[in-house]
Structure 1
Amino acid sequence: MTTPVNRRGSVGAPPGMLTGVLACLLAALVIAEVVVAVAYGVSAGWGWQELVDSFVMTNSLMALTFSLCGAVIAWHRPANPIGWLFLADGIGHATTPFANVLAHATDSQLAQQVLVTVSLAAWPWSIGLFLPLALLLFPNGRLVSPRWRWAAIGIVVTSPLFVLEMAGGGEPVSPDLPLGYLTISNFDALQPLWTATEVRNLIAILLPVICLGIRYRRADEAGRRQLLWLLLASVIAILFITPWAFVAGTPILVLLAIPLIPIAVAVAIVRYRLLDIRLVVSRALTWALLSLVAIGIYAALVALLDSLITSQVGRSAAVTVFVALIIAPVLPRLQQLVDRALYGDRHDPARVASRVGEQLSAGLPGVVASIRSALRLPYAGLTVDGVVVASDGAAASSVVPLELSYGGEVVGLLEVGVRSGESGLSSADRSVLGLVAVPLAVAVHATRLSAELQASRERLVAAREEERRRLRRDLHDGLGPTLTGVAFSADAAANLITRSADTVRAVELLARLRADTRSAITDVRRLVDDLRPPALDELGLIGALRQRADQMSIRADGSAIRVEVTAEELPTLPAALEVAAYRIATEALANVVRHARASSAVLTLRCGRELEIEITDDGPPSGPWTPGVGLQAMQERAAELGGTFSAGSTPQGGRVQARFPLPVSTLQVPLEVL
């Protein structure tokens, strides 16, 4: 089935548009209820205090914030139930003052009782049900884990208790209005139940706050910035609401802290990157701590100076002066402590430089991580020759590159992520980064020199092996045949002299010549074998290793050992790499045959982005190996070509492993497993 569509629009609006329109209509309903309630109260001559005492102002403000924030969330994230829960919350808060003023406007006692009942029972659903559920589902509309579904079920099941407590109290909404239908005659006798209901409300708010803490601990940096908005608003709201619930005489206006929650949720879900929450938290914590200090000092000074100054200049004036004098120097220090907790040590460049210096010995990754940690940056990365050699943190949406110069040459780039809510790096950040850029540039330069030295060393070893290969070929193909011909000639001369029955001395000389020539041939062959094992050229690396494994299958005492060679087909390897791999493998196998009490050994060659050689045996564990000449020689051969080497005992037997990086030209050759 298809939906008719023309160029001007579709016959049916898309689902996203329908949900957005529905959210706007619900928000408009809330606004209309609030306008009617406030307009009636003003026209009826209600003063500000009467509007506050009748909860018209508090409910109206909460209704507007919840509904508008819910509409914004539902418009941008229609699949997220939090927006719809906020809309329902706003409707509940708006219905309370709306039904209240309608009850005043009608003369029918039946209608008044119905409207009073609705007025009393509407807003408790908002506080006891919709708000806790929204907090529990924040920010993605899903529970943090399936185990938390019991918390959600508990909130839903116990929410009618709060409604019954608020609607059944027996106190009229107004002296001019009758009681509602849910009024409980023996309400005071159920006081333990109502106390438990208040505790339930506190738990219903504390559980989502705990859940937010769990989400914060598991989230990445971007998720933590998002959650921090709601955590801050929830803590502030709890601090204000708790006295109102348990302490009689607490002003009703403390409920105006509740609208902070929907505002924080809307910002966190829709535009949490718009403002730097850490800046907000920094200032809020500073003034909160300062306020506590001021209250404490004020109370102490009131008690101390009451009898001394009251009769002279008035208590409040004196105390205010003293408090101001004491608080003035405290604020900068307090702000510094809070900023350090949120922005790191950017106001202490020497401390940052010291931390970076401590990490220089650990390598570039440790330096980059210390820079990001010291400044509380979302991301820091080091790029050298177009390649990211070290990074820490999650990739930020905005990254500022800083050049690292050494000797007038740019040796790398330090890329740092901009904090959320900031358009760029502050002057304090740039000062600190400029200070640490100097040792970091030196470290990058030293690392490049070390890499170049290693590459030069590898080229030197490769050139040496290539030269050895050439010498072997020349000796084998040039000097070898020549000396062999000399030996043949000497044999022929000896035969002729023997037939002619000439001097015995000539025969002896020729025999000596023949012996010397054969000795020279043996020496040449020994030199050739030392330069490069001939089996490598005759059989290749894998064939040479298999030949050597067959030769080692019998120990000197006559006992047998099974040596298995498992290898992948190898590309054409450089001469130096072939020799190093062959020497390490044969030396390791020789150690197994001589020293390990093993019945079998396995030689494995793997070739991917690097050449890996592994020799394992099933001998009994022998504890840590003592490095000898053989192990040192194998380790040096691996280091010469930039490889790694490890050897030691394992619970399964002995193990020797060497890894060699392959040249780029070699990596381009496809490999096939035999």
Structure 2
Amino acid sequence: MRTSVNRRGLAGALAGLVVAEVTFAVVYALSAGWGWTELVDGFVVTNGLMGLTFGLCGAVIAWHRPANPIGWLFLADGIGHATTPFADALANLVHSELAQQILVTVSLAAWPWSIGLFLPLALLLFPDGRLLSPRWRWAAIGIIATSPLFVLEMSGSGESVSPALPRGLLTLRDFDALQPLWTATEVRNLVAILVALVCLAIRYRRADETGRRQLLWLLLASVIAVLFITPWAFVAGTPILVLLAIPLIPIAVAVAIVRYQLLDIRLVVSRALTWALLSLVAIGSYAALVALLDSLIASQVGRSAAVTVFVALIIAPVLPRLQQLVDRALYGDRHDPARVASRVGEQLSAGLPGVVAAIRSALRLPYAALVVDDRVIADGSVASSVVQLELSYGGEVVGTLVVGLRSGESGLSSADRSVLGLVAVPLAVAVHATRLSAELQSSREKLVSAREEERRRLRRDLHDGLGPTLTGVAFSADAAANLITTDTSRAVELLARLRADTRSAIADVRRLVDDLRPPALDELGLLGALQQRADQMSIRADGTAIRVVVSASGLPTLPAALEVAAYRIATEALTNVVRHARATSAVLTLRCENQLEIKITDDGPPTAPWQPGVGLQAMQERAAELGGTFEAGPTPTGGQVQAHFPLPTHTAPSADLSLEVR
């Protein structure tokens, strides 16, 4: 903690040094009567502003990120730029020639370190202060080792900005003879910047969403700086003030490291790239048209007017196209909803994960996720701010689409919402279809499981019950046949046992058949079977009577599976009434209109909510197997069990029937 405080104090002190040096230089220049031209030509304006921006931005970075060396490199860069005008101003105030020579040397040698060492090294370490990999260590060593060459080139001539000052102490006699070395030094500076830019490009390709946003800030500053500085390097007479674009680089770096979410940098970069490309097109068009029309139009005024008109005609249709290309690179296809819908549609066959990835990629979003029930399908890194969009199908919410906001965005733009609204329709259909498929698969698994359990039960009953009985019958028959002539009394006993075993086997067969389908349904029909069962339940085990009413309305001929389900649910519900409800009467109602409704009510005293047991669960499963619904629980007037089943379209209703069993 104390180390962090000490570093922040040092950063503040160095920033104060930069401000003091620039202030001293400006105050001296104004007191000496320098005008704006002298301030610009003496590099007081450019070096002073670059010193302040690099120094103050470096102090901000060092204050918030003391462990990041970029802040300290920028502070050193700012001191280098600020020391040049400070030393020049101080040299004009002293009278000792030796002191003036020392200050001139310091002035000439201070700022080259900023350009040759501190700036490229900071770019090489951007944004986290670490090299991209150990292999890049040699690039950093090369930049550090060769940086004195540029300092020697700038101070070797010994010529001060002010003609009234003497030459510096590092003046080389054979300076002009070393021109090949100085040319190599200029090439070295270019290579150092290019190496740093290549490193930044590799970082951008490997970076996550946060890293790319940080790099875009530097890209924006670099585009603007190059746009201004390129004419100064190649077009004679360009004002030196274009160098004031360089301070945008430390400002962008400071924002990228400390506050990269300040605003939507992608929007800013989009506009900057568009105008940069447009400017290049305008400059190229102007140069080409000047060369072409120079031989055709003699008048200077006419030539300039013609060129302006032609350039305007060329630029007018170019700007929208350039903006479209840049926006697609930064925001994807959000301005082309049909293209996004097409890309999402192509991924529907690949499953929901492919659809989510296609949405995020098409809109260049940092994060996208689909929440279906308790399942989350995500793509990208989780964003700090997200927006949730409900997916509806048939009036029912089937899922939620979660998208992360881009840096600097407080909400989704109208273009994004328009695209997502278009995509939400097929996505909701896909989610609904996926849920139906999962439910169908689950139902199939339950049916297969139930079938196998029923087979296992039948096998066990046949093997453990009917099998041994029939085996005993066979043995008894053989023994009786062998003893019928020699021991008649023993044969008669065996035949009696054979008769009892045969009856037991028949009872087992009837029990198995009854478990497969109640015989009363085939003998009496559904209503008759329910009447019979209600008659059997009209007397409790303790001898008390219960009044049961069975009524039906518009009951058609039902499929066998639906008959069994209705019979099982009704009999199980009536059994629960007799055993647990303490009721004096119960009503079983079957009604058919658009669906089959089974309702069992009793007048038992109100109770607490029912706890699901084996009987309730079995009734619910029977309803679900046929696509029906099931509800059960207490009411203010007693208990109630209710089930609804969809009916086949070809069923025809029969006459109403009402039965009462006491």
TM-score (norm 1): 0.70
Which residue number corresponds to residue 71 of structure 1?
59
Inter-partner Cα distance in structure 2 for 1:250 and 1:303: 20
Inter-partner Cα distance in structure 1 for 2:228 and 2:310: 28
Distance apart, 1:369 and its partner CA: 1.1
Distance apart, 1:435 and its partner CA: 0.6
Inter-partner Cα distance in structure 1 for 2:318 and 2:203: 34
Distance apart, 1:491 and its partner CA: 3.2
Inter-partner Cα distance in structure 1 for 2:309 and 2:98: 60
1:93 partner amino acid: H
Instruction: Call closer, same or farther: CA 1:322–1:237 in 2, change over 3 Å.
Output: closer
From 115, 123, 127, the equivalent of 2:103 is 115
Which residue number corresponds to residue 207 of structure 1?
195
Q: Is the 8 A contact 2:105 2:158 kept in 1?
A: no
Deviations 1:409-462 (A, max 9, x none): 110011111111111110011011101110110000000000000000011011
Instruction: Call closer, same or farther: CA 1:358–1:458 in 2, change over 3 Å.
Output: same
Deviations 1:129-162 (A, max 9, x none): 1111111111111111111111111111111111
Distance apart, 1:170 and its partner CA: 3.6
Inter-partner Cα distance in structure 2 for 1:416 and 1:82: 34
Distance apart, 1:350 and its partner CA: 1.1
Inter-partner Cα distance in structure 1 for 2:254 and 2:485: 115
Which residue number corresponds to residue 413 of structure 1?
400
Report 1:189-588 matches (<5 A): 189-234=177-222, 237=225, 251-306=239-294, 311=299, 314-388=302-376, 390-500=377-487
Q: Is the 8 A contact 1:121 1:163 kept in 2?
A: yes
Q: Is the 8 A contact 1:170 1:185 kept in 2?
A: no
For 2:388, what is the secondary structure of its paired residue? Answer: strand
Report 1:178-197 matches (<5 A): 178-197=166-185
Distance apart, 1:385 and its partner CA: 1.2
Instruction: Call closer, same or farther: CA 1:202–1:249 in 2, change over 3 Å.
Output: farther
Distance apart, 1:352 and its partner CA: 1.0
1:190 partner amino acid: L
1:456 partner amino acid: S
Instruction: Call closer, same or farther: CA 1:108–1:496 in 2, change over 3 Å.
Output: same
For 1:180, what is the secondary structure of its paired residue? Answer: coil
Q: Is the 8 A contact 1:30 1:91 kept in 2?
A: yes
Which residue number corresponds to residue 516 of structure 2?
none
Q: Is the 8 A contact 1:399 1:416 kept in 2?
A: yes
Instruction: Call closer, same or farther: CA 1:300–1:205 in 2, change over 3 Å.
Output: closer
Inter-partner Cα distance in structure 2 for 1:246 and 1:296: 14
Which residue number corresponds to residue 140 of structure 2?
152
Instruction: Call closer, same or farther: CA 1:243–1:171 in 2, change over 3 Å.
Output: farther
For 2:273, what is the secondary structure of its paired residue? Answer: helix
For 1:499, what is the secondary structure of its paired residue? Answer: coil
- Unaligned runs of 5+ residues in structure 2 are 513-662
Inter-partner Cα distance in structure 2 for 1:280 and 1:312: 38
Q: Is the 8 A contact 1:372 1:392 kept in 2?
A: yes
Distance apart, 1:229 and its partner CA: 2.0
Instruction: Call closer, same or farther: CA 1:245–1:350 in 2, change over 3 Å.
Output: closer
Distance apart, 1:68 and its partner CA: 0.7
The worse-fitting range, judged by mean Cα deviation, of 270-279 and 246-255 is 246-255
Q: Is the 8 A contact 1:360 1:366 kept in 2?
A: yes
For 1:403, what is the secondary structure of its paired residue? Answer: strand
Which residue number corresponds to residue 621 of structure 2?
none
Distance apart, 1:48 and its partner CA: 1.9
From 14, 17, 22, the equivalent of 1:26 is 14
Distance apart, 1:242 and its partner CA: 6.9
Instruction: Call closer, same or farther: CA 1:391–1:57 in 2, change over 3 Å.
Output: same
Inter-partner Cα distance in structure 2 for 1:477 and 1:61: 100
Q: Is the 8 A contact 2:158 2:169 kept in 1?
A: no
How many residue pairs get matched?
Answer: 501
Distance apart, 1:55 and its partner CA: 1.3
Report 1:4-19 matches (<5 A): 14-19=2-7
For 2:378, what is the secondary structure of its paired residue? Answer: strand
Inter-partner Cα distance in structure 1 for 2:138 and 2:300: 63
TM-score (norm 2): 0.71
Which residue number corresponds to residue 530 of structure 2?
none
Distance apart, 1:496 and its partner CA: 2.0
Q: Is the aligned partner of 1:165 residue 2:149?
A: no
Instruction: Call closer, same or farther: CA 1:168–1:458 in 2, change over 3 Å.
Output: same
For 2:23, what is the secondary structure of its paired residue? Answer: helix
Inter-partner Cα distance in structure 1 for 2:181 and 2:372: 69
Deviations 1:55-110 (A, max 9, x none): 11111111011011101100100011111111111011100000001111222212
Which residue number corresponds to residue 46 of structure 2?
58
Which residue number corresponds to residue 617 of structure 2?
none
Inter-partner Cα distance in structure 1 for 2:277 and 2:119: 28
Inter-partner Cα distance in structure 1 for 2:244 and 2:157: 23
- Unaligned runs of 5+ residues in structure 1 are 1-12, 528-674
Deviations 1:279-315 (A, max 9, x none): 1221111101111111222223333444655549543
Distance apart, 1:216 and its partner CA: 1.4
For 2:391, what is the secondary structure of its paired residue? Answer: strand
Q: Is the 8 A contact 1:226 1:272 kept in 2?
A: yes
Deviations 1:369-403 (A, max 9, x none): 11111111111111111321x22111111111111
Identity among equivalent positions (%) equals 85
Instruction: Call closer, same or farther: CA 1:246–1:130 in 2, change over 3 Å.
Output: farther
Inter-partner Cα distance in structure 1 for 2:227 and 2:288: 23
Which residue number corresponds to residue 99 of structure 1?
87
1:134 partner amino acid: A
Which residue number corresponds to residue 540 of structure 1?
none
